[in-house]
């Protein structure tokens, strides 16, 4: 009888000692074929004990442990030329404004899920998409975000608080400004989305308000022929939906290992429509509500 728990532990020990690796190499630890190793690795991935790369070595991704992200550079020789260029550029800059990169590099950033992390930053001209080097520390990002070359640096605050809790108003600035008592407005948008979901016969498992009357997330249970599935609903109250909005929604779904349902009352820009058709078909489901 095959001792599955022992095989799993042997794989974890191998990755701990040798770093990111492909199934064919890991199969040598099991004394079995790569197909069987892949099945065991899939179970470990589902249990969140290992991570899997988006980039591939040959035809296979690499599996690695949490904390081994700094060893993913072994994938660099296997990246397409344009992604190699984008990799080197982002590694040097650490933080790049999407609109400041040339079109080919912007496309490459969207494909480099292992190395380029998208973050939305609220600037003096509105929300903007930036790309963060995956190994950049919060201290490095804070220093870059406060650099003089960013005109809005003193006023900017980061919307994606979890990956980038770095921009804060100083105590002196807070003291200068008179404190106004904030008036709480009801979150009508979340209520509308919740009602829409329930009318669609979907069960809400989790819900969170990202920004009142602007963005809300729901984990919903969807009935299907193969059983119930969990999906992530990203609801956005915005007149124009950009490719950056769709990219971030897709990334959030990937982080939860779920298909994303993007729900909005707005219209997609031409660039967003093209991005949806070319890169997100099958990964993001677009739903409009009124």
Tens-digit pLDDT profile for residues 223-277 = 766 567 888 999 999 889 988 888 888 888 887 888 899 999 889 999 888 888 8
> Is 56 or 191 the better-scoring residue by pLDDT?
56
Examine residue 173 and state whether it is found in any structural domain, yes or no. Answer: no
Q: Two tokens at 67?
A: 């904390």
- Contact, 192 vs 285, CB < 8 A? no
pLDDT of residue 227: 66
Residues 40 and 93 in one domain: no
Contact 12, 52 (CB under 8 A): no
Of the three residues 68, 101, 124, the one that is the final residue of a domain is 68
Average pLDDT over residues 192-203: 83
Residues 253 and 212 in one domain: yes
Q: What is the pLDDT of residue 226?
A: 57
Both 201 and 220 in a single domain?
A: yes
**pTM across the whole model:** 0.55
pLDDT computed for residue 164 by the predictor: 38
Return the structure tokens found at 42. Answer: 């899939």
Tokens standing for residue 214: 């602007």
| Greatest alpha-carbon span in the chain | 72
d(Cα 121, Cα 117) in Å, to the nearest integer?
A: 13
Quick check: is 21 in a domain?
yes
Question: Is the dihedral angle over the CA atoms 129, 133, 137, 141 positive or is it negative?
Answer: negative
pLDDT band at 149 (very low <50, low <70, confident <90, very high): very low
114 and 198 belong to one structural domain: no
The answer to whether residues 289 and 192 touch, using CB atoms and an 8 Å cutoff, is yes
Looking at the structure, do residues 61 and 131 belong to the same domain, yes or no? no
How confident is the model over 10-52, as pLDDT tens digits? Answer: 899 999 999 999 988 888 877 766 677 778 888 899 899 999 9
Does residue 174 lie in a domain region?
no
Instruction: Say if 225 falls within a structural domain.
Output: yes
In this predicted structure, what is the pLDDT of residue 101?
Answer: 92
Predicted local distance difference test score (pLDDT) of residue 13:
93
Classify the C-alpha dihedral 162-237-95-123 as positive or negative. negative
CB count in 10 Å sphere of residue 10: 16
Question: Domain check: are 85 and 57 in the same one?
Answer: no
Q: What is the pLDDT of residues 123-145, one digit of tens each?
A: 777 778 889 999 998 888 777 76
| Residue 194 and residue 154 in one domain | no
46-55, 60-69, 161-170: least confident range? 161-170
Using pLDDT thresholds of 50, 70 and 90, give the confidence band for residue 177: low
What was the pLDDT predicted at 146?
60
What's the CATH code of the domain at 256? 3.40.1350.10
Residues 6+ apart with CB under 8 A from 279: 110
DSSP the chain: ---HHHHHHHHHHHHHHH-SB-HHHHHHHHTS-HHHHHHHHHHHHHTTSSEEEEEEETTEEEEE-TT-GGGGGGGGGGS-HHHHHHHHHHHHHSEEEGGGS-HHHHHHHHH-TTTEEEEEEEETTEEEEEEEETT--HHHHHHHHTSTTSTTTTT-EES-TTT-------HHHHHHSPP-PPPP---HHHHHHHHHHHHTT-EEEEEEEEETTTEEEEEEEE--TTS-EEEEEEEE--SEE-HHHHHHHHHHHHHTT--EEEEESSEE-HHHHHHIIIIITTTEEEEE--
Residue 214 and residue 253 in one domain: yes
Same domain, 54 and 127: no
User: Across all residues in the chain, what is the average pLDDT?
Assistant: 81
User: Percentage of the chain surpassing pLDDT 90?
Assistant: 31
- pLDDT band, very low/low/confident/very high, at 114 (cuts 50, 70, 90): very high
Domain C-terminal end among 20, 39, 68:
68
Give 96's strand partners. 131
Angle at which helices 34-46 and 4-18 cross, to 10°: 90
Both 195 and 282 in one domain: the answer is yes
> Quick one: pLDDT at residue 155?
36
176 falls within a domain: no
246 is in which domain, residue-wise? 188-288
Instruction: Retrieve residue 215's tokens.
Output: 């963005």
Are 108 and 142 within one domain? yes
Predicted confidence (pLDDT) at residue 156 exceeds the cutoff of 60: no
Based on the fold, state whether residues 43 and 114 are members of the same structural domain.
no
How many domains is the chain built from? 3
Query: Is residue 178 domain-resident?
Result: no
Identify whether the C-beta of residue 10 lies closer than 8 Å to the C-beta of residue 30: yes
In a domain, 253, yes or no: yes
């Amino acid at each position: 009888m095959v001792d599955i728990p022992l095989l799993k532990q042997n794989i974890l020990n191998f990755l701990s000692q040798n770093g990111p690796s492909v199934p064919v190499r890991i199969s040598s630890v099991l004394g079995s074929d790569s197909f069987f190793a892949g099945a065991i690795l899939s179970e470990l991935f589902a249990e969140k004990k290992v991570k899997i790369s988006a980039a591939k070595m040959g035809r296979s991704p690499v599996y690695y442990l949490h904390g081994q992200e700094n060893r993913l550079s072994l994938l660099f020789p296997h990246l397409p030329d344009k992604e190699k260029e984008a990799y080197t550029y982002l590694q040097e800059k650490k933080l790049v404004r999407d609109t400041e990169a040339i079109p080919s590099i912007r496309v490459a950033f969207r494909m480099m899920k292992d190395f380029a992390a998208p973050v939305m930053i609220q600037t003096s001209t509105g929300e903007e998409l930036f790309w963060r080097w995956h190994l950049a520390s919060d201290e490095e990002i804070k220093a870059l975000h406060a650099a003089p070359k960013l005109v809005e640096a003193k006023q900017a605050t980061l919307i994606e608080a979890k990956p980038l809790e770095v921009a804060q108003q100083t105590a002196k600035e807070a003291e200068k400004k008179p404190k106004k008592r904030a008036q709480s407005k009801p979150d009508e948008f979340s209520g509308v989305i919740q009602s829409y979901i329930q009318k669609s016969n979907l069960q809400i498992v989790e819900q969170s308000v990202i920004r009142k009357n602007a963005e809300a997330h729901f984990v919903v249970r969807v009935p299907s022929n193969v059983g119930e599935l969990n999906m992530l609903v990203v609801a956005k109250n915005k007149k124009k939906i950009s490719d950056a909005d769709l990219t971030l929604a897709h990334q959030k779904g990937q982080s939860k290992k779920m298909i994303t349902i993007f729900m909005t009352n707005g219209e997609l820009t031409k660039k967003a429509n093209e991005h949806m058709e070319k890169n997100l078909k099958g990964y993001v489901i677009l739903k409009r509500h009124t």
